[in-house]
Amino acid sequence: MAVPEIALITRARGLGRHLLARATLEALAEADDLPAFARGLSRLGAAIDPIGEAPDVFEIDRAVGRTAARYFRTLHRWQERAPGVLDVFAANQDRRSLRALLRGAAQGAPSAARSRGLIPTPLLPQRALIELARQASPAAVVGQLVLLGHPHATRLLPLVQETQPDLFALDVALLQGFAASASAAAKTGDRTLREFVREHIDVGNAQNALLFAGGPRDVEAAHSFVEGGRWLSRNGFESAAAALSQQAALMTLRTALAKSPLASPLPVVAGDVAHLDRAFLSANFEGLARATRVEPVSTPTLLRVLLRIESQSRDLRTLAWGAALGTPPALRKQQLVTPP
């Protein structure tokens, strides 16, 4: 392991001590309403960026995003010139962000709602995310990506020429973009990083198979499978995608992934595709925690800190919306993904 990489991992371990503990998040879940939750955040000091005097839930969301971006900037200053773990992680966040922004534009959602829960990256900083969320259509979103020079722009451009572009085709293109960029970045990394990428491709394929099943599509399932995963084969994907319902597709995926680490994160109800993303995050923590105990200065240590930044961002936003909507505190705690 190169000295600069050791320096990056050591810096990440130090940064990890500033992330919120599960107990702190559970205490925040007890807030009676959004103002009480905001006061609780303010008492955390520098752990969270300032949120203003009378913040609404979207202002809290932006503060959480700024906090994550600040952590990433700190880590990037310690990264080697060669692509690596941080680039892989950022590529996955870009995929999630662009999927939300394209769908939000297609549905005409308010701009503040489109950027909810997005984590800024070097290629898509918060200012860019806010500008992309203001665009009137998926074509305008991709046009803005062209101006930003984002690598996914040319891949997405042919798919947004129709008045109502196929959102599923955009999902597949985003996964293809992630697979290409993350796999290239992981080539210089170790086995842990390469497996991290491969399993994220598996999760993306599983999500797409569930979305494909049960309805007519303008594209064939065979053209929607993204190469580069480990556990979900092309045959398994095509069988699930060909199912007559999402629930039948879920059962097919359960069989195809029965002997893999992805079996437990699969959702109980097929319609809850987002559950797979959250559950996979929790499952990742378990494996990385074991590897970190064996080798504290290692790729798993850095990945675990990055995932904790992601989980903290998700959890704070979940808690903010729970406080705003009056969700029972017990339910808010059940939705947390930050490990104890």
Q: Give the whole-number percent of the chain exceeding pLDDT 70.
A: 95
Identify whether 252 is part of a domain.
yes
* pLDDT score of 1 more than 60: no
Identify whether 153 is part of a domain.
yes
The span from the CA of 15 to the CA of 204, in Å, is 29
Task: Give the ranges where 29-117 is alpha helix by DSSP (H).
Answer: 34-42, 57-76, 85-107, 111-114
Secondary structure of 105-142 in the HEC alphabet? HHHCCCHHHHCCCCCCCCCCCHHHHHHHHCCCCHHHHH
Identify whether 117 is part of a domain.
yes
Q: Which residue has the higher pLDDT, 215 or 288?
A: 288
Identify whether 325 is part of a domain.
yes
53 burial (CB, 10 Å; 0-12 / 13-18 / 19+) is: exposed
Give helix 191-212 / helix 246-256 axis angle, nearest 10°.
Answer: 150
* pLDDT score of 280 more than 90: no
Secondary structure of 218-284 in the HEC alphabet? CCCHHHCCCCCCCCCCHHHHHHHHCCCCHHHHHHHHHHHCCCCCCCCCCCCCCCCHHHHHHHHHHHH
What would the two tokens of residue 16 be? Answer: 């990890």
Q: Which domain holds residue 134?
A: 3-334
Please say whether the beta carbons of 319 and 332 come within 8 A. Answer: yes
* pLDDT score of 95 more than 70: yes
3-state DSSP assignment of residue 335: coil
The model's pLDDT over 150-165, given as tens digits with 9 standing for 90+, comes to: 999 999 999 999 888 9
* pLDDT score of 293 more than 60: yes
Identify whether 75 is part of a domain.
yes
Please say whether the beta carbons of 84 and 184 come within 8 A. Answer: no
- Please give the pLDDT value at position 282: 85
Average pLDDT over residues 143-156: 95
Average pLDDT over residues 3-12: 78
pLDDT band at 273 (very low <50, low <70, confident <90, very high): low
C-alpha distances in angstroms, 15 versus 11, 57, 64, 104, 326? 6, 26, 16, 33, 32
Average pLDDT over residues 178-197: 92
Average pLDDT over residues 90-99: 95
Q: Which residue has the higher pLDDT, 339 or 273?
A: 339
* pLDDT score of 269 more than 70: no
- Please give the pLDDT value at position 317: 94
Identify whether 340 is part of a domain.
no
pLDDT band at 271 (very low <50, low <70, confident <90, very high): low
- Please give the pLDDT value at position 322: 96
Other CB atoms within 10 A of residue 22 CB: 15
* pLDDT score of 218 more than 60: yes
- Please give the pLDDT value at position 2: 47
- Please give the pLDDT value at position 230: 94
The span from the CA of 118 to the CA of 109, in Å, is 15
Between 1-10, 184-193, 302-311, the lowest mean confidence (pLDDT) is in: 1-10
Q: Whole-number mean pLDDT of the chain?
A: 90
* pLDDT score of 266 more than 50: yes
The span from the CA of 204 to the CA of 256, in Å, is 15
Residues constituting the chain:
340
Radius of gyration over alpha carbons of the chain, in Å? 20
Identify whether 30 is part of a domain.
yes
3-state DSSP assignment of residue 49: coil
Identify whether 9 is part of a domain.
yes
Domain tally, the chain:
1
What would the two tokens of residue 39 be? Answer: 């006061």
- Please give the pLDDT value at position 270: 61
The model's pLDDT over 29-85, given as tens digits with 9 standing for 90+, comes to: 999 999 999 999 989 887 888 887 778 999 999 999 999 999 999 998 888 666 689
Please say whether the beta carbons of 265 and 283 come within 8 A. Answer: yes
